[in-house]
Chain A
């Protein structure tokens, strides 16, 4: 009996072995380069260091490590506005997108996500603001980057937590990018702002003591690496390498470097965001 079970276990292992050895797509292997495009206005995920003008960030470090593990690929970086990220993937200008982009159901029409960081929209105010709890923001002006999914998140949250409780709805004010939003907060055009929770430790470190977070991230989500739907091979091999990075601690080390150790995932998830 034992010998049969041993044999079956061995056979099962042998059968599963090929599934583990995912292969890099031929064109990328041949070219030896990985083409990536980022929206470099999103510290600490990807941004240009004001002192050196170098492209730096958590996504940059993760990508560099992944490229190394994928057989020493060279990364060719380019930059675009946030709204161009998905088109860049679709037109094959980029092989994959790792650029602080949230996994969302509406985006899964044309792409698959390998989730690698937890995130969620978070309210924050100027340190001297009187708002203590998130519900203090009902009826107030709240701003966020208009090209993100956050305006919809705010509306949803406002319906559930303000209007449902008989309070006035939050007034959404659009902004062009995270700096614009923070400028409007500083000038008093808005009473509070919403940004991804991954950006706030950096912002607070940059301008110490100016801002204060209000409440917890009010929706749970993930940042994901985006792949074309027909590109399963690349997606699988990247997932494999990412799993390895999580296992040997290099993933956590990168996250800690950028102050986002708390946003780690236990393992890469596919298309795991709730909506």
Chain B
């Protein structure tokens, strides 16, 4: 039997008094597109950030591609990994942020080549060629030398997607990628994400765009107050939800 790409087992996380995740368990399979939906504070963003260790978990374990994240097990005890080891683990994932977080002092092209050249130590001409190809893929071939300040929100987010893809991750994490965009710019970003999904990338997307979820997601997970309430096929969860809480959420949103 094949193993899931991401295995989350009994993960808990609290921020002070607030319990963000309560013993959450989940599997994500390679090539799958999973959408996480729920109200704010439900824990969906926290869960995403635990996978690329921007947030450290309190208890439980997350395995990515079979490797335990953030700690190593030895003699029945868990020892935290060094900062360098954790940074290396992050190479397997790419993240796209709600507020884009492009590096403002670098051009679009430089944003994309920064990771492969600086972190992965690859040759810059090679990386440059790939970056131009990525820009073409997200529809911004002419904007290679533009600075983020000169780009619209939708264009910036597409560059951010290209930046994440340049690291050749095996899993792409999207944290509400269109929430900060003006409505008329949302479509161009969703189009890129759809193309990415169709190319076979494993994606976990925290989003409020239920239309996108219905159209592209293989699985939808509904979270509420730090637990997974319902999980299943997009058509099932969104069309015929089993749980009352899911129904309540969906009727409030639609």
A and B touch in the complex (CB under 8 A): no
Q: Residues of A with Cβ closer than 8 Å to B?
A: none
